[in-house]
Structure 1
């Protein structure tokens, strides 16, 4: 029988290495106050409106109907006031208690690192921490990369407590439900829980009755939000992902008024959700909320605000916000640095006390240290 022999110096190094791994894992679990996590994405929402509010040039362009009404609702000479008018929750509660990243005017940059700058590659990067160049389509291909939601769903205390609701139909492939086993309710998929309460059962029926304004593959964000909220009330998931879509749809349609309206509506949904969480003993003071997007949009020339993609300058520029018990209340972060969406997957796992990077089986960006205490 062959015996494994390790020299003493090498043995000491091995013991030290293993000790460091144990200490790192222990420090994650002991330091994290976050017990639950809510992730919300606003598809294709530009950083410009998040940090500057409504765009004067676009308001007075061919892309805006009812300009007087839009000006009344969203215009002020001050960018600080304009952004509060558009995103009142972000610029009150989160600005006071959380953090906001991505104001390029202040030198704080957030970007996608994938070169494609559209939805599937963006969501792949966000959840796998890996800008995989194979993920270069919006087609219904199964994602071969492990994602952080899948990883969390395998951890003790989280099994069966991770769920996603999305307006766009593509998330079962992005999160690879056939491999991950995650419950992902996208497009017009019905909730399958046999013990679902009366309101959830009614939402299954309602979503098929409302007009399909966004086509037959994307349901209204209102329905996605209602499903998420009611599921939260009944089942108390530990991790909930909500993917809104209408900001991207309205931008592609070239309707700036509706783009702004949908952004403000989604801010209202998030406000209502956060207040509900803080009123529930299960979630109060133990839940982190992270809000971001999948890609940016163009800016110059003006017409490019509708578009994104590899050839669109500025479509890599994004933003994110976070609020929760492990995140210092710094408000708008003006440090002149750059962070990438590939770093958010590990950030998410560390907020919950885990180390996705060591278990993913592929490249994962480092966590954003300033998000955690």
Structure 2
């Protein structure tokens, strides 16, 4: 009996797009297209928050909104960055599913296409349907990569930082205003948002402002979730993932002002998510989940045939 043509197409995609990585997650079966209610995914990165001041604080006093929102979502207690614990490498790993030690100053593109680039190619959607909105200008590199077949192609839209203070950075309040403007005007299906204030006050060695920024960002997470539910294009069909690019040094390793090594403070990061396809009021403390798994999970939700990723789909968070 002859096998249908579709079988050969799917087989070709499965075995030719893995970039020789047997662990890569590749979604190829169009029959599963309507499996999930999620039509949009927003990744919100809280830059440089140490887990000891968020989910592992004695009474979680700095994140009351996330504690309340957990009734609608899922938290992974042992989530890790197993790559380079700096801003650009961390963001790149979440977006591409590959750990790379790229330069942290915004002068080096990631080596592999992000889930946004791959989604744009797969769907043929306009670039305004995928966005990077960041408080740090150096994260504009997330809209491209070095790989020859992808460089300069299928690029998401960007709105990153401002040079009014000479640093190229802007306050998170400005980034949140831009985020809402983009959502209202373009209704993008996939977004990556960076909020930098926690990291900035950490580097300034200003403990009080660092804690204040964590609390402000916690309120922002509730604000963006409420805004999602207020928009017809997003309500009940949008997944919000909150994570970190990196943590900060343990006190024994130099303290909260810096980061960048493999101490537990730098590697242990947040994974908190809400969406129509995820479990509710659940904390997961089993499994071996890490930063590069985010890209594969976004691809799974949006049914993108993801290439190159070394990560896995975080199956335990799904209903």
TM-score by length of 1: 0.73
Match of 2:45 in 1: 41
Match of 2:185 in 1: 234
Query: 3-state SS of the aligned residue for 2:11?
Result: helix
Are the counterparts in 1 of residues 253 and 263 from structure 2 also a CA contact under 8 Å? no
Out of 236, 245, 248, the residue aligned to residue 294 of structure 1 is: 245
Higher Cα radius of gyration: 1
Report how far residue 320 of structure 1 moved. 1.0
Out of 103, 110, 115, the residue aligned to residue 148 of structure 1 is: 115
Are the counterparts in 1 of residues 51 and 265 from structure 2 also a CA contact under 8 Å? no
Are the counterparts in 2 of residues 45 and 247 from structure 1 also a CA contact under 8 Å? yes
- CA offsets 1:338-363 (integer angstroms, 9 cap, x no match): 2111111010111122231xxx2x34
Report how far residue 254 of structure 1 moved. 1.1
Are the counterparts in 1 of residues 81 and 90 from structure 2 also a CA contact under 8 Å? yes
Out of 93, 96, 106, the residue aligned to residue 128 of structure 1 is: 96
Out of 61, 68, 81, the residue aligned to residue 92 of structure 1 is: 68
Asked if 1:166 corresponds to 2:145, the answer is: no
Out of 245, 249, 258, the residue aligned to residue 307 of structure 1 is: 258
Are the counterparts in 2 of residues 41 and 291 from structure 1 also a CA contact under 8 Å? yes
Out of 137, 158, 161, the residue aligned to residue 187 of structure 1 is: 161
Match of 2:18 in 1: none
Match of 2:172 in 1: 221
Are the counterparts in 1 of residues 47 and 196 from structure 2 also a CA contact under 8 Å? yes
Are the counterparts in 2 of residues 45 and 248 from structure 1 also a CA contact under 8 Å? yes
- CA offsets 1:56-101 (integer angstroms, 9 cap, x no match): xxxxxxxxxxxxxxxxxxxxxxx2xx31x321221112x1011011
1:342/1:311 CA distance change after superposition, 3 Å: closer
Query: 3-state SS of the aligned residue for 2:251?
Result: coil
Match of 2:317 in 1: 371
**Structure 1 residue runs without a partner (length 5+):** 1-7, 54-78, 103-108, 190-207
Are the counterparts in 2 of residues 164 and 240 from structure 1 also a CA contact under 8 Å? yes
Match of 1:52 in 2: 56
Name the CA distance, whole Å, in 1 between partners of 2:143 and 2:222. Answer: 26
**Structure 2 residue runs without a partner (length 5+):** 15-25, 146-151
Query: 3-state SS of the aligned residue for 1:305?
Result: coil
Query: 3-state SS of the aligned residue for 2:185?
Result: helix
Query: 3-state SS of the aligned residue for 1:32?
Result: coil
1:355/1:86 CA distance change after superposition, 3 Å: same
The number of residue pairs the alignment matches comes to: 300
Name the CA distance, whole Å, in 2 between partners of 1:370 and 1:312. Answer: 26
TM-score by length of 2: 0.85
Report how far residue 152 of structure 1 moved. 1.4
Name the CA distance, whole Å, in 1 between partners of 2:144 and 2:52. Answer: 32
Name the CA distance, whole Å, in 2 between partners of 1:320 and 1:37. Answer: 14
Q: Which moved more, 1:257-266 or 1:219-228?
A: 257-266
Asked if 1:336 corresponds to 2:286, the answer is: yes
Report how far residue 240 of structure 1 moved. 2.1
1:248/1:27 CA distance change after superposition, 3 Å: farther
Asked if 1:322 corresponds to 2:290, the answer is: no
Are the counterparts in 1 of residues 118 and 304 from structure 2 also a CA contact under 8 Å? no
Report how far residue 303 of structure 1 moved. 3.9
1:271/1:23 CA distance change after superposition, 3 Å: closer
